[in-house]
Structures are given as structure tokens and as C-alpha cells.
Amino acid sequence: EPEVTQTPSHQVTQMGQEVILRCVPISNHLYFYWYRQILGQKVEFLVSFYNNEISEKSEIFDDQFSVERPDGSNFTLKIRSTKLEDSAMYFCASSLRVKSGANVLTFGAGSRLTVL
């Protein structure tokens, strides 16, 4: 069964450092997403991406965050200068299409980010 692959599974970084989380979405999917889950809290939407541009973002997704699809297979989330509160599990997801009734998201296993 096709799956969304995320790397690294766990990253520890110092506050202020840049972090890049990587995702390989399902190959024929066209829509890509990042969600995050702070320990003990809900899974929260960060950003959606289609046709090489951001289609929607939440208030969490401020100037410290950016997303990119550098080639035909990878989708990355960059945090420019990490803060303690960025510590969370980050989930990448992808979907085939957004037409109403057909947009099923497939999630990756997540990347746990710990900021010290």
C-alpha cells in the first residue's frame, strides 16, 4: 500500500537553530499538508500546498515557517529559528485531489522535533 514517508523520525535541536523536516508524499498525489501535535494537545493544521504554492495556512504558520517542494518527490517544512514551543510531532499528509467528497488525506508516521 502506498505510504507517506517522513524523515527524520526524531530530531533534537538547540533553540534558534534551523530545522528542515522532509516528506515524500504518495507519488500520484497532488496536495500536500503539514500538521503538528504538541504533546497532550490536538493535532493542528499548519499549511496546505498545491501547484507549487501555499493554498491555505493557519495562524500558527508564521514567518518562521516555510514549505517547499524542491523536486518532484520531496515536500519540506523549514523552521528558520526554532523556539521551545516548536517542540511537537510534525505530520506530513498528502491527498489525490480536493474535489468535494474525494479528498482523503494519507498521513506519514511523523517527525518528532525536540527543541532544547
Contact residues for other proteins, defined by CB under 8 A:
4, 6, 31, 33, 35, 41-45, 48, 50, 55-56, 58, 91, 93, 95, 98-101, 103-110
* Cα gap 27→45, rounded to integer Å: 22
Residue 81 beta carbon to other proteins: minimum distance, rounded to whole angstroms: 26
Nearer to other proteins, 44 or 64 (CB): 44
* Cα gap 22→92, rounded to integer Å: 8
Residue 91 beta carbon to other proteins: minimum distance, rounded to whole angstroms: 6
What are the b/e assignments for 41-55, b being 16+ CB within 10 Å? eeebbbbbbbeeeee
